[in-house]
Amino acid sequence: MDVLTFIMGAVLLVFGKKLLTLSVAIVGFYISFTVIPLGFTNITDTQLFIASGVIGILFVFLSRFVEKTAIFIVGMLGGGIVSLSLLNLFQIDFLNTIPQWALFLIGGCIGIFAASFVFDWVLMLLTTFFGAYLLLNLFNFPFLLNLVVYLVLCVVGILFQYKRNHKEPLLNVS
């Protein structure tokens, strides 16, 4: 699974907005791959991969047929996943008293709000943040190194995605 996680993280980090359909499939796959075992404890790895793949494909069809709603779905799921991922990655102790579903909803609401105003930027940022999380999750760095590597990955991902999607420079220094 580490190789697959690396590939998914790299694709999201570098090509997230450009390969939107694949990004939606990756998010659907990852969500189902992490959530299904919580409800089905005796599921085999093969069954989990198949179910996650099917759900990833369903996410793609759903995003294609309900494009306007997909903005809010991406905002909700992306914001929720990024909030839980960051909290898990940085081990923020005082937030451990809040149920994870509540933190997911808070992050999801922020994601919906942001996606409704600046969808392109939110999509680029969410895929970058989530891709960096997937890549960093493969390693067991100390907290400070985790933070530095995460921020560097995010900056590299944002710059790369911006350059692939825009002709004008990100910062115009003159």
Q: Is residue 172 part of a domain?
A: no
Q: Is residue 40 part of a domain?
A: yes
Question: What pLDDT is attached to residue 49?
Answer: 93
Question: Tokens standing for 33?
Answer: 């791959």
Overall pTM > 0.75: no
DSSP class of residue 12 equals H
Question: Residue 34 phi/psi, 5° resolution?
Answer: -90, -25
User: In total, how many domains does the chain have?
Assistant: 1
Q: What is the pLDDT of residues 77-125, one digit of tens each?
A: 878 888 887 777 777 666 677 788 888 898 889 888 887 777 778 778 8
Q: Is residue 104 part of a domain?
A: yes
> 110 vs 15, 32, 69, 87, 117, CA distance in Å?
23, 22, 16, 15, 11
DSSP class of residue 171 equals S
Question: What pLDDT is attached to residue 168?
Answer: 66
Q: Is residue 126 part of a domain?
A: yes
Roughly what angle, to the nearest 10 degrees, separates helices 45-65 and 67-90? 140
Question: Tokens standing for 101?
Answer: 């579903």
Question: What pLDDT is attached to residue 51?
Answer: 93
Averaged pLDDT of the chain? 83
Q: What is the pLDDT of residues 45-61, one digit of tens each?
A: 999 999 999 999 998 88
Q: Is residue 174 part of a domain?
A: no
- Burial, 68: exposed, middle or buried (Cβ in 10 Å; 0-12, 13-18, 19+)? exposed
Q: Is residue 55 part of a domain?
A: yes
Q: Is residue 170 part of a domain?
A: no
Confidence of residue 67 (pLDDT cuts 50, 70, 90): low
Question: What pLDDT is attached to residue 94?
Answer: 67
Q: Is residue 10 part of a domain?
A: yes
Give the range of the structural domain holding residue 63, as residue numbers without chain letter: 2-165
Question: What pLDDT is attached to residue 157?
Answer: 92
Question: What pLDDT is attached to residue 118?
Answer: 78
Q: What is the pLDDT of residues 3-21, one digit of tens each?
A: 988 999 899 888 887 888 8
